[in-house]
Amino acid sequence: MTEEMVEHLKQVLLAKGYRVFSRPFELNIIGIRADSNLPNAFDDLICLFYSDGTRWQLFQYPATTDPGMYYLTRPVNGSGTAILKPGQYANAYGIGLHRGLYTALVQISPVTVIRDFNKNDKLDFAGGKEQTGLFGINIHRAEQNGTAKYVAAYSAGCQVFANGTDFNAFMNQCRRHQQLYGNKFTYTLLQQTDLSDAGLARAGGFIASSPFSSGQ
């Protein structure tokens, strides 16, 4: 199943003209934004896959790729709350300190966001203005221990792991990548519909088989 799911992801990435990294332990970090679009739920995935030199390995972690309710209604930027636009952001991240507090993947080169400026409790993907730049759209965790139930103030546009243990495992893989290939990481954000649009038989499998599909 792992090999099959990795092949599905690789097909989607290549069909979009995105890079797939295949050197041993070189990371492919993929966010998958769920169709549900719930602003305060960890209803998305961050997937990590790589070749170990023999076979492909895949890990799936419950996460949010969207801002939480707190910042949707209280934007910290006058143009509106940031929602990361789907795409591949090459070498946009490096290991650093999230808000000076703990080690995470931090933004080091421009990404594109959609500014949700209407201050309601719904994610506005279509009506917002696009901006490209350095906005601190980091990849980090919610709670240090255990699993956060709601996004709340954990994300103002960052990509956030629900579970602290999952995040620590992810960062261990990032450190190995750093030792081998330097402190640059590419992050790709897909939408769940990208998988089904590619005609994949198990297109919804990533979201549907995730550990939070029961509706936390």
Gap between the Cα atoms of 213 and 32, Å rounded: 14
**Who has greater pLDDT, 122 or 93?**
93
CA–chain centroid gap for 160, Å, is 7
**Token pair recorded at residue 145:** 């221990």
Cα gap 67→113, rounded to integer Å: 11
Does residue 16 surpass a pLDDT of 50?
A: yes
Give the tens place of pLDDT for each residue, 70-99.
898 888 887 889 999 999 999 999 999 999
**pLDDT score, position 138:** 98
- Beta-sheet strand order (sheet of 129-133): 81-84, 111-116, 129-133
- Break the chain into its structural domains and give their ranges: 2-208
Q: Which amino acid is at 173?
A: Q
- What whole-number distance in Å separates Cα of residue 144 and Cα of residue 137? 19
The predicted structure's pLDDT at residue 198:
56
Mean pLDDT in the chain?
89
Residue matched to tokens 């090459």: 90
pTM of the model: 0.91
**123-141 per-position pLDDT tens digit:** 877 777 899 999 999 999 9
Q: Lowest-pLDDT range, 9-23, 51-65, 125-139?
A: 125-139
